[in-house]
Structure 1
């Protein structure tokens, strides 16, 4: 990977830019507390100002506020509720069979994991708000980097190609936010850089309109982005944009009613030819140095984390501390110098069953611990019931273990090449092209990497793909999207513990395939409408 001098996640840069962009939430119009601070020409007269400004846009994926990891720059939301990756984890993982959060008195989590949420749920407000903050930050960067302003500020011509690339990255981050809004909520208010800050209530875009907007944006910016793997870890490039397009096309039938599997395969094949490669060790994707070890060859887009300089209660902090078993007391497995959070995360029996059988005994992806535990959870408050697992760990790939106390050093792998392999097999089975031989070969690469058993062409079907995605990608915030695409998230075709509210699980209504628009967002923007059934 080509390295640049772009020190994207320097704490000093993020602190400065988050000061400039510290915001509150009204109707998800994001308004700086001091509107003049970011517009101050003195800021843009400094060397590296645009580099610092784009770092702040990226920083919204990682940090939540200026007063340390417990603060939030969104009014009325705490840090845990308002962190971007934490929102994805809550809504894409804890709403499924992959994990159960033991502490159901934490605001909103009981309703999420039992699939009984309403528009008043604070976790929904947190994710809706945080994605709209991404939109607002990206828009402000685009306002401040027009050709007219660059001319007024006498920005040297030599710096302008790099600023043009930053503008493409800002548009990508805005498109990524709308992609997540489309997937989770199905609608969102439209804002771009031409709309003055705080002066307009965004018009509602429905799911089809968001799809078309994100698709058009990603296609338009592609040539202005860096080639795949030619930027520092944590920055977006052409490969990242290709990945979001591939994911959109794979899910297009859900989003728009029209299958687009051929287009999905087109971008999958582009990604396969873009220079990415699997890490030799599966676990290196989830270690404390995954932003610098061999996993950088596999992770297409990751959200960096640093336990010293950029702390947050993001997903990897939750999954390291929360993964420690209350019976096992195995905080050492997670590279923690504290006892962890007392069995905060456990597994449903239905997820554990994905690894049943001798073929998975030596599979590196099978890190489930259950020797001293009952499989079935009969009492949510009894943390000794239900199996646990070890996935994200602060221990480095060379075995070294920095003294990490609570906060994680593990970057969150939003998109990985392994997912592309699995997407190829699924897109092929759904009529998108490719070959059965290539599909089986890619699946077997993943299985051989994990030390597991290979499959034959006769083993490959959609049910296998769904289970294999759980085995490879669990706790990476894909499961809800996958279950919906396979018709198993709502309804009664697939039941897991606590689905629908009861311990044994119940069928749920198809309205649960979308989250409701938060009530606060509806009350402050009358252009928004609620999703059916809420």
Structure 2
């Protein structure tokens, strides 16, 4: 199977019920599970469907999913995982605002005044549980007892065991997303009795332990060695990178810091053979599937095979004012813009000094004087649907609608920054000199020389937060980062229109997590709403 389109290969395959009360159902299919998993090829196709849930859009319910918001379903781009996740992680922060206030769910996100009824919040919640449902079924069908009855060769059974470990990783990833955004959520695994009960709610700290155990288990017994799997599929390094991210935020999730563990898993990734890709401006291009030096795991998008208005298509078209000849598309939707607080993290925001400052300024004002005016605030051309040579995307959509750019869920630069922050926060197993070297390696790539290097005295936790803003903007980290630093809801850091005020203001701490959708509360009496909603 073509590595670039591993995910896309499943686009015409099944979609399963997404609502959480259906976590304990077998995904609806035109064929039985026995038929679908009757051959080794059937198992690989089943795994492809699990990965494809990252990029597929539309009514995930298929044959009956009444709890998915009809507003989300009406715009299939808004049911894509990445677009939903980006909106919750970035539109709520200094990194992004969206112009079109009448789009379902937009009002209240940047202002941090959302309610328990919001189609974007609901959409991400159900989309994550949709993939968990697929994972649970695949894991159930690939158990040792299920394999024991199959007339497969020992080699084929070993391959299925690798696939099962990948499904465990993907399930753990989606439970991490839900834990990070929603706290205490419904919980079901492959061992939950099918269709006999509604899922119970798991405590955030207990879910942390489950995710940790699953990631370690998958890495130790099934995931393929780093950089040895097909492009776009998880390996041990992906599990290690998620563990490092999990431990970095452990104090938020459990009340107990785990910075030493974060360093341990950073070291595992760093020594696995990755390196920083030499040119930052090539990270988010249409042929970025070539960036296997830095990329650890990606969501694969393809202009021919995964056509939807979410994903990186959203990140190509969305930025306001960027002409199609720059973005490699048929033009801008005049939507996404940056607050001046994010832009001014760069002393020189022209891009001539720090090449990460890929800001579109023509026709845009620096200051976001109005939240819903498309020219208020710079935008960015970080995502461009062209190749390194400036040519068309490999599977270019002739109409210019859809993107070929893959989205890195994990890349080495993030791991370097986790290592540095964890050392500064007192974790052991690393050292300040190595942390400084990693940060300066990131900055040397950005500057093209040593002119951006910093000294040991400049390397503080606040510096790391700002450097994460410069390096990782528009990569779905900002909300989580600001919460970890105590700057998301508080007055410790203000940005334009935070709290609905042009100069920014503090908001209630309840906004550190999102509400459980009211539709799920009404259908599952086992659930309790998050405090304050």
Give the TM-score normalised by structure 1: 0.92
Number of aligned positions between the proteins = 516
Cross-structure match for 2:368: 377
SS in 1 for 2:520: helix
Cross-structure match for 1:407: 402
Matched, 1:300 2:275: no
Instruction: Report how far residue 506 of structure 1 moved.
Output: 1.5
Matched, 1:198 2:205: no
Conserved in 2, the CA contact under 8 Å of 1:303 and 1:414?
A: yes
Cross-structure match for 2:528: 529
Matched, 1:22 2:16: yes
Cross-structure match for 1:430: 425
Query: CA 1:53 to 1:262, structure 2 compared with 1: closer, same or farther past 3 Å?
Result: same
Distance 2:36 2:462 in 1: 55
SS in 1 for 2:298: strand
Distance 2:351 2:463 in 1: 14
Matched, 1:272 2:270: yes
Matched, 1:101 2:98: yes
Deviations 1:83-118 (A, max 9, x none): 211121011111100011111111111211111111
SS in 2 for 1:300: strand
* Residues 54-453 of structure 1: pairs in structure 2 closer than 5 A: 54-65=47-58, 75=68, 76=70, 77-78=72-73, 79-223=76-220, 224-291=222-289, 293=290, 295-325=291-321, 330-336=323-329, 338-341=330-333, 343-357=334-348, 361-370=352-361, 372-402=363-393, 403-404=396-397, 405-433=400-428, 434-451=430-447, 453=452
Distance 2:402 2:135 in 1: 27
Instruction: Report how far residue 170 of structure 1 moved.
Output: 0.7
Structure 2 residues without counterparts, runs of 5 or longer: none
Conserved in 2, the CA contact under 8 Å of 1:22 and 1:65?
A: no
Query: CA 1:129 to 1:213, structure 2 compared with 1: closer, same or farther past 3 Å?
Result: same
Distance 1:529 1:494 in 2: 31
Deviations 1:252-283 (A, max 9, x none): 01110001101111111111101111111112
Matched, 1:49 2:12: no
Conserved in 1, the CA contact under 8 Å of 2:301 and 2:311?
A: no
SS in 1 for 2:201: strand
SS in 2 for 1:112: coil
Distance 1:107 1:372 in 2: 27
Superposition CA RMSD, Å: 2.2
Instruction: Report how far residue 464 of structure 1 moved.
Output: 0.9
SS in 1 for 2:128: helix
Deviates more, 1:189-198 or 1:133-142: 189-198
Query: CA 1:284 to 1:357, structure 2 compared with 1: closer, same or farther past 3 Å?
Result: closer
Conserved in 1, the CA contact under 8 Å of 2:358 and 2:381?
A: yes
Deviations 1:2-54 (A, max 9, x none): xx8778626444423x2xx4325363537467467242x33333450000001
SS in 1 for 2:151: coil
Give the TM-score normalised by structure 2: 0.92
Query: CA 1:364 to 1:243, structure 2 compared with 1: closer, same or farther past 3 Å?
Result: same
Distance 1:415 1:49 in 2: 28
Distance 1:361 1:160 in 2: 54
Structure 1 residues without counterparts, runs of 5 or longer: none
* Residues 454-469 of structure 1: pairs in structure 2 closer than 5 A: 454-469=453-468
Distance 1:265 1:470 in 2: 21
Query: CA 1:473 to 1:250, structure 2 compared with 1: closer, same or farther past 3 Å?
Result: same
Instruction: Report how far residue 447 of structure 1 moved.
Output: 0.9
Query: CA 1:104 to 1:457, structure 2 compared with 1: closer, same or farther past 3 Å?
Result: same
SS in 2 for 1:212: helix
Distance 1:278 1:248 in 2: 22
Conserved in 1, the CA contact under 8 Å of 2:80 and 2:310?
A: yes
Deviations 1:206-252 (A, max 9, x none): 11011000001111111211011111221111000001110111100
Conserved in 2, the CA contact under 8 Å of 1:22 and 1:73?
A: no
Distance 2:27 2:188 in 1: 19
Distance 1:26 1:359 in 2: 46
